[in-house]
Amino acid sequence: QGPGFALFGVPEAYFTMAPKKLFRKKAPKASASNGPSKPLAPHMLFAETVRAEVQEEAKKEAEAKGVTWITILMAKVAEKYKKLPEAEKKVFTDKYEAAKAKYAEDLKKWKETDDYKEFLKKTDEHNTKKKLAEAKAFVPDAPKKPSSALMQWLADGGREKLAAAGVAPKQMFGAASEELKKLSADERAALDAKVAKAKEEYETAFAAYKKTDAYKKYMSAVAKAKSGSGSRTKNDLVSRFLVNKPTGPGLSPAGYHASQTGKKGAFAELSDAEKEEWNKKFRAAKEEHEKKMAEYMKTDEYKSYLEASKKAGVKAVGSRKVSRKASKKTKKRKVSKRASKKSSKKASKRVAKKAKEESEEEEDEEEDEEEEEEDEEEEDDEEEESEEESEESSEPPKKKAKSAAKKSAKKQAAKPKKEKKEKKEK
């Protein structure tokens, strides 16, 4: 409960609504449609044999503790079953295996009948109704629909009037409809006007409410429920189809140890050598289970389950392992592709770097050559200037003016070269 559920798109109202507003009808049972009943587990078969002798004791203990007697009863039965010798446990295990084989045969026959189709139809209808009811949690603040004339009359004091007259609650609506017929024209007109006004106010409020995010989420949930997507849950499909599915050793050596010995939490108290032994047993059981599961996934039973889960839009049991193997292969391929891409990128970078360095070296050489040429030109210019100056001293004024103009033109032409050289030096 609380704001944390908002992360998953579940409104808090879903958990705070009155119980009557949520859909609490039980799902249809297969036995109600002439389907076979599931066999009792070994410990439940044992419970049937000792129930009578433990029941009275459990009731007295529960009364003293202030709890329900059935919880005390099952705890006592479980304790007795744990202490049972393996030879006696085998009797109940064999009974269960025989009943399980018979159940599988009966279930296969039942799936071919019209009763089974009817059962599926009822289950889907139930799940759709449940989802539609749960969708109302998204609109807790929606405007309430206006009452009908009959309900309005009851709300305006009619209920108290009928109760005072001794009308039973079950007969209230029938009596109210008779009272409505006895109303005068003015009374009926006033009642209808009140109902019409309430209806008009509701339509105005609902038109504004339709624009809110809460209403959009509600309509999305309704559409999903009516389309049937996700109406069959994973557990429904597993219970219907995976009858002969091999049972696994559990998720951890500790869980496997508890299932084999009946002692929860005892794995932590074992020595390191004993833990290692149970680890080996767990790994061997896991490998055996994977082999059995691989064989089972080839059966018609599992294929029919896959087909049903695909239609229902539910992830199939066992598909995770297959996808893991596939993902490992794809990961390896991706890694190799990435490695080859990286190596090719590195090689191309090296080539580009080398080419860049070579081009920079060539540019530097060209610049050096240009600088040398410029230096030589400057030296030539300086020599020419000195010669011209010596000549100018002996030349007439007109020639002096011409040589000065030439000199200034040369200086202007050499200016950009000098600026360029200065920039390079900087």
Residue 411, pLDDT > 50, answer yes
Q: What pLDDT does 402 receive?
A: 57
- pLDDT band, residue 292 (cuts 50/70/90): confident
* Average pLDDT of the residues in 277-286: 88
**Of the ranges 200-209, 293-302, 409-418, the best mean pLDDT one:** 200-209
Q: What pLDDT does 230 receive?
A: 45
Q: What pLDDT does 196 receive?
A: 92
**Chain center to CA of 325:** 21
Q: What pLDDT does 193 receive?
A: 92
* Average pLDDT of the residues in 358-362: 68
Residue 90, pLDDT > 50, answer yes
**Which of 94-108, 220-234, 309-323, 392-406 shows the lowest per-residue confidence on average (mean pLDDT)?**
392-406
**Taking Cα atoms as reference points, which of 171, 141, 119, 164 lies closest to residue 11?**
141
Residue 3, pLDDT > 80, answer no
**Token pair listed for 311:** 């239609």
Residue 136, pLDDT > 80, answer no
Q: From the CB of residue 42, how many other CB atoms can be counted at a distance below 10 Å?
A: 19
Q: What pLDDT does 20 receive?
A: 42
* Average pLDDT of the residues in 24-47: 85
Which residue is associated with the tokens 């006004």? Answer: 197
pLDDT tens per residue across span 169-204: 888 888 888 988 888 989 889 989 999 999 999 889
- pLDDT band, residue 416 (cuts 50/70/90): low
Residue 151, pLDDT > 50, answer yes
Whole-number Å distance between alpha carbons of 413 and 294: 90
Whole-number Å distance between alpha carbons of 128 and 224: 9
Return mean pLDDT, the chain.
Answer: 75
Whole-number Å distance between alpha carbons of 146 and 288: 64
Residue 19, pLDDT > 50, answer no
Whole-number Å distance between alpha carbons of 258 and 248: 14
pLDDT tens per residue across span 296-345: 888 887 887 777 777 666 666 665 544 444 455 555 565 566 666 666 66
More confident residue, 305 or 109: 109
Percent of the chain with pLDDT over 90: 4
**Which of 117-121, 189-193, 265-269 shows the lowest per-residue confidence on average (mean pLDDT)?**
265-269
Q: What pLDDT does 328 receive?
A: 52
Against a cut of 0.85, is the pTM above it? no
Residue 152, pLDDT > 60, answer yes
Q: From the CB of residue 46, how many other CB atoms can be counted at a distance below 10 Å?
A: 21
Find out whether 106 and 38 touch, Cβ atoms under 8 Å. Answer: no
Residue 104, pLDDT > 70, answer yes
- pLDDT band, residue 2 (cuts 50/70/90): very low
* Average pLDDT of the residues in 132-139: 73
Q: What pLDDT does 421 receive?
A: 64
Residue 18, pLDDT > 50, answer no
Q: What pLDDT does 207 receive?
A: 87
pLDDT tens per residue across span 386-395: 555 555 554 4
**Token pair listed for 256:** 């496997």
Residue 126, pLDDT > 60, answer yes
- pLDDT band, residue 357 (cuts 50/70/90): confident
Q: What pLDDT does 66 receive?
A: 79
Helix axes 397-425, 319-394, angle to 10 degrees: 160
Q: What pLDDT does 326 receive?
A: 45
